[in-house]
Amino acid sequence: MENAVGSGSATNGEVAPPRKVALITGITGQDGSYLTEFLLNKGYEVHGLIRRSSNFNTQRIDHIYVDPHNAHKARMKLHYADLTDASSLRRWLDTILPDEVYNLAAQSHVAVSFEIPDYTADVVATGALRLLEAVRSHIADSGRSHIRYYQAGSSEMFGSTPPPQSETTPFHPRSPYAASKCAAHWYTVNYREAYGLYACNGILFNHESPRRGENFVTRKITRAVGRIKIGLQSKLFLGNLQASRDWGFAGDYVEAMWLMLQQEKPDDYVVATEESHTVEEFLEVAFGYVGLNWRDHVVIDKRYFRPAEVDNLKGDASKAKKVLGWKPKVGFAQLVKMMVDQDVEMAKKEKVLVDAGYIDAQQQP
Ligand code: NDP
Ligand code: GDR
């Protein structure tokens, strides 16, 4: 494994500063893909840990992948590891020698966490602890004390505590996922206090994009809007339409993650748009944008209700605005349109395959 430190070359004869090295867990996820693009644009070398799966799971980063044999161009490198395997985490830290570690990996679906609570806790809570411990012991053995750590915290940790939610709002988690994120949050605070680790918790409210997983409500809706508009589907089955979320754009939120690690001192920050909308409002905007009425298509299905719901999330991001100088660029309506535009295009491509007999139109995503 080659390390890019010192790989920069200046045109004016001066020695360029060493290229920074980032290690990202969860690089194949929505946020991992945007963060990788962001860091590559900043000149970083990016290493991502991917888990083994029976099919390729790198679709979100395929467009930035360069064959590693092309050593001068390939600044993103992928390695097999798993948050449930402590030895793999320590081994890659020792090999890659990162300056910044972003822990984005998670079993991130709230409803699924009720189905697989034990696994969710293993990855989300104990996984974060394994990575923190790997960073701590790597620093102790190597003396590389400048490493900075980012933990992907969630507004789900606030659960049933009423809005607006800020860094000082008490947590009241409502799912195994949220309880596990609370544990990860406090592990991170503890490693900061106990070992002096530069470790930050980003408490991010919901953030979406055209790369959002298709079983989260926003993307489920925009995929359906595309398919209904193109004539591939007629019904959309959903659960609770009255839940309110503070929805931002994932591309904006990864900048806040990076900003947290550039400060003099480590701290925890809420990242949010400070605007909240119900699922029903999302439906209005998404269907309305393509001239459809959601009431003609949406069917309520009990299967999608959760054993305990989070009713109302709306962040207070004044600390991030003041200290980090961060603010969201994409608003709610623009976000919905961006997602619908892409999913209408995707449905058009699917239609070509359906018409040619290659896929079954009934096979919904
Ligand atoms: P995704 O679900 O899109 O991505 C999760 C990533 O974690 C994927 O790369 C996945 O790999 C990986 N992963 C899952 N299990 C393991 C494991 N055992 N070992 C290693 N990697 C694993 O999530 P997002 O990108 O949306 O979110 C990123 C992080 O931010 C998550 O921790 C999430 O909980 C948190 N978060 C997200 C918010 C949001 O609104 N998006 C808001 C607040 C917090 P694979 O591709 O193979 O499945
Ligand atoms: P959330 O996102 O639970 O907020 O977690 P999700 O999109 O799954 O749910 C949002 C709200 O929509 C309601 N809902 C449905 N949800 C899904 N998935 N499918 C449905 O059919 C449906 N119908 C109604 C839900 O009940 C809920 O109230 C996301 C994840 O990215 C987490 O990892 C992250 O931590 C939080 O956002 C912040």
- pLDDT value for 137: 98
**Which residues approach ligand 2 with their CB closer than 6 A?**
108, 110-111, 154-156, 206, 215-218, 220, 238-240, 243, 245, 279, 304, 306, 309
Does the beta carbon of 126 sit less than 6 angstroms from any atom of ligand 1?
no
Which pLDDT belongs to residue 359? 87
For the stretch 311-322, pLDDT in tens is 999 999 999 999
Burial of 17 (0-12, 13-18, 19+ CB in 10 A): exposed
Q: Express each pLDDT in 158-216 by its tens digit.
A: 999 999 999 999 999 999 999 999 999 999 999 999 999 999 999 999 999 999 999 99
Cβ of residue 154 lying under 6 Å from some atom of ligand 1 = yes
Lowest mean pLDDT among 2-16, 123-137, 212-226: 2-16
Q: Hey, what are 68's tokens?
A: 């590693």
Mean pLDDT across 219-234: 97
- Residues contacting 292, CB < 8 A, separation 6+: 225, 228, 229
pLDDT at 15: 74
Give the residue, by CA position, lying nearest to ligand 1 atom 35.
152
Q: Which residues contact 271 (CB under 8 A, 6 or more apart)?
A: 202, 203, 204, 205, 248, 253, 256, 315, 317, 320, 326
Report the C-alpha gap between 146 and 98 in whole angstroms: 10
pLDDT at 157 over 90: yes
Distance 269 CA to ligand 2 centre (A): 22
Q: How far apart are the first and last CA of the chain?
A: 38
The alpha carbon of 282 and the centre of ligand 2 are apart by a number of angstroms equal to 12
How confident is residue 3, by pLDDT bands cut at 50, 70 and 90? very low
pTM of the model: 0.95
* 18: confidence class by pLDDT, cuts 50, 70, 90: confident
Average pLDDT over residues 18-24: 94
CA distance 298 to 275: 25
Asked if 160 and 309 count as a contact pair (C-beta separation under 8 A), the reply is no
Q: Outline where DSSP puts E strands in 155-221.
A: 198-204, 207-208
Q: What is the pLDDT of residue 68?
A: 74
Could you report the per-residue pLDDT of 78-123, keeping only the tens digit for each?
A: 999 999 999 999 999 999 999 999 999 999 999 999 999 999 999 9
Whole-number pLDDT of residue 9: 46
- Give the model's pLDDT for residue 11: 55
> Among 45, 100, 156, 208, which one carries the catalytic annotation?
156
**Domains recognised in the chain with CATH numbers:** 21-212+248-275+312-330 (3.40.50.720)
Instruction: Give 357's contacts (C-beta < 8 A, 6+ positions apart).
Output: none
Choosing from 31, 242, 245 the residue with most ligand 2 atoms within 8 A of its CB, the one to mutate for a pocket test is 245
CA-to-CA separations, 189 to 22, 120, 180, 330, in angstroms, rounded: 21, 21, 14, 31
Q: Is 161 helix (H, G, I), strand (E, B) or coil?
A: coil
Question: Which residues neighbour 109 within 8 Å (Cβ) at sequence distance 6 or greater?
Answer: 177, 213, 215, 216
The predicted-structure confidence for 270-306, as pLDDT tens digits, reads as follows 999 999 999 999 999 999 999 999 999 999 999 999 9
Residue 365 is predicted with a pLDDT of 59
DSSP 125-150: IIHHHHHHHHHHHHHHHH--TT-EEE
Instruction: Note if 154 is an active site residue.
Output: yes
pLDDT at 267 over 80: yes
CA distance 54 to 163: 42
Max alpha carbon distance in the chain (Å)? 67
Percent of the chain with pLDDT over 70: 95
In tens, the pLDDT along 32-66 reads 999 999 999 999 999 999 999 999 899 999 999 87
The b-or-e profile of 46-70 (16+ CB within 10 A means b, else e) is bbbbbbeeeeeebebbeeeeeeeee
The conformation of residue 202, written as its DSSP 8-state character, comes to: E
Query: Which residue shows structure tokens 């606030």?
Result: 158
The C-alpha torsion from 342 through 345 and 351 to 352, rounded to 10°, is -130
Separation of CA 171 and ligand 1 centre (Å): 21
CA distance 193 to 184: 14
Q: Which ligand approaches the C-alpha of residue 283 most closely?
A: 2
Interface predicted TM-score (ipTM) over 0.95: yes
Measure the CA–CA gap between 31 and 50, rounded to whole angstroms: 14
In the residue annotation, 156 being an active-site residue is answered as yes
- Report residue 71's pLDDT band, with 50, 70 and 90 as the boundaries: low
Which pLDDT score, from 0 to 100, does residue 7 have? 42
Both structure tokens of 45 = 């070398």
Given this model, what pLDDT does residue 306 score? 98
The per-residue pLDDT for 5 is: 34
> Could you please report the per-residue DSSP string of 208-254?
E-TTS-TTSHHHHHHHHHHHHHHTS---EEES-S--EE--EEHHHHH
Residue-level pLDDT at 364: 60
Catalytic residue among 34, 102, 150, 177: 177
Which carries the bigger pLDDT value, residue 199 or residue 67? 199
Nearest-5° Cα angle at 33, 101 to 227: 150
Q: Quick count: other Cβ atoms within 10 Å of Cβ 8?
A: 12
Is 177 a known active-site residue? Answer: yes
pLDDT value at residue 12: 65
Q: Which position among 154, 155, 180, 209 bears the catalytic label?
A: 154
